[in-house]
């Protein structure tokens, strides 16, 4: 599989969004799923797949700690695009996490909190799928600079497809505006990257787009992407 990934990488590295989506759905069918956090990039992917009438399974990780605006957007997407968005929640309810690990684990051990509330549900969400799709872009952080449109995910042992790997921030927003795509209103309030509310702050214009995540910790990813 990994040698095939290299040839797919080469074939698709400069492909258009429509071509990547068409290839992914044709190649993987029901074995493919889109992991959406309902950020701007995910809205591009969901809108384009809908326009092209490509069947795409979508899931999101509901940590119980998402912003109300994110939950509202999930409902809006369900209504407008008719995606049957599967929500995966942690096996450990928040109250039990507090009992076992103390309150506000995210403020002391965010890696442990992400393992419980994101990584464990992600493993369940990916079970039975051979490939997953994300809205990751190279520009988003130093950890994503080598991102390929198609890659082998060594953590979850699956093919990972990132159709927007080479897109710029501007290209994403040009697309959303040109096609009147709904998006999280927090983006207009200084939140370029939106995760759980305890670990997301607004950033000033010109600051790194991921600098509002886990402020005060040397942490750039939640463990889903390496
Ligand atoms: S982003 Fe923060 S609150 Fe959400 S799972 Fe990770 S540490 Fe916990």
CATH code where residue 106 lies:
3.40.50.620
Supply the pLDDT for residue 206: 79
Q: Is 163 near ligand 1, meaning CB less than 6 Å away?
A: no
Q: Is residue 204 part of a domain?
A: no
Which pair of structure tokens corresponds to residue 14?
Answer: 């400069």
Q: Is residue 170 part of a domain?
A: yes
Which pair of structure tokens corresponds to residue 133?
Answer: 């799709």
Per DSSP (E only), the strands in 81-206 are 86-88, 131-133, 150-153, 158-161
Out of 113, 114, 196, 222, the active site residue is 222
Supply the pLDDT for residue 223: 66
pLDDT (tens, 9 = 90+) of the chain, 226 residues, equals 778 999 999 999 999 999 999 999 999 999 999 999 999 999 999 999 999 999 999 999 999 999 999 999 999 999 999 999 999 999 999 999 999 999 999 999 999 999 999 999 999 999 999 999 999 999 988 888 999 999 999 999 999 999 999 999 999 999 999 999 999 999 999 999 999 999 999 998 877 776 777 677 776 766 676 6
Supply the pLDDT for residue 142: 85
Supply the pLDDT for residue 219: 63
CB 17 within 8 A of CB 49: no
Residues 77, 78, 81, 82, Cα dihedral to 10°:
170
Kindly state the DSSP code that residue 85 receives in the 8-state scheme.
P
Residues 8, 48, 190, 141, Cα dihedral to 10°:
0
Supply the pLDDT for residue 143: 84
Q: Which of these, 60, 127, 61, 126, lies nearest to 90 by C-alpha position?
A: 61
The answer to whether the pTM exceeds 0.85 is yes
Query: What's the 174 CA to ligand 1 centre distance in angstroms?
Result: 30
In whole angstroms, what is the distance from residue 132 CA to residue 57 CA? 10
In whole angstroms, what is the distance from residue 190 CA to residue 197 CA? 14
Residue at token pair 């400069």:
14
Supply the pLDDT for residue 214: 67
> Does residue 196 have an active-site annotation?
no
Q: Is residue 146 part of a domain?
A: yes
Number of compact structural domains in the chain: 1
Q: Is residue 27 part of a domain?
A: yes
Q: Is residue 223 part of a domain?
A: no
Residue 138 is part of which domain span? 2-199
Q: Is residue 184 part of a domain?
A: yes
Q: Is residue 222 part of a domain?
A: no
Q: Reduced to 3 states, what is the DSSP secondary structure of residue 212? A: coil
Query: What's the 143 CA to ligand 1 centre distance in angstroms?
Result: 18
Q: Is residue 74 part of a domain?
A: yes
| Ligand 1 pocket test target in 115, 195, 217 with most atoms within 8 Å of CB | 195
Closest ligand 1 atom to Cα of 199:
2
CB 163 within 8 A of CB 21: yes
CB 144 within 8 A of CB 138: yes
| Ligand 1 pocket test target in 103, 117, 219 with most atoms within 8 Å of CB | 117
């Amino acid at each position: 599989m990994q040698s095939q990934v290299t040839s797919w990488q080469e074939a698709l590295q400069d492909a258009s969004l429509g071509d990547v989506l068409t290839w992914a759905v044709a190649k993987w069918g029901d074995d493919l799923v889109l992991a959406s956090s309902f950020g701007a990039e995910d809205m591009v992917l969901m809108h384009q797949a809908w326009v092209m009438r490509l069947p795409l399974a979508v899931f999101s990780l509901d940590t119980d700690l998402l912003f109300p605006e994110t939950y509202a957007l999930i409902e809006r997407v369900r209504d407008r695009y008719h995606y049957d968005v599967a929500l995966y929640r942690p096996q450990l309810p928040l109250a039990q996490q507090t009992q076992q690990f103390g309150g506000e684990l995210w403020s002391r051990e965010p890696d442990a909190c992400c393992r419980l509330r994101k990584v464990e549900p992600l493993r369940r969400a990916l079970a039975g799928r051979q490939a997953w799709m994300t809205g990751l872009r190279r520009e988003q952080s130093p950890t994503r600079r080598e991102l390929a449109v198609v890659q082998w995910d060594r953590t979850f042992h699956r093919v990972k497809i990132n159709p927007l790997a080479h897109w710029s921030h501007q290209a994403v927003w040009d697309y959303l505006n040109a096609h009147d795509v709904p998006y999280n209103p927090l983006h207009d309030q200084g939140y370029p990257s939106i995760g759980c509310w305890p670990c997301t702050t607004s950033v000033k214009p010109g600051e790194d787009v991921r600098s509002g995540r886990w402020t005060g910790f040397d942490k750039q990813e939640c463990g889903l992407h390496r």
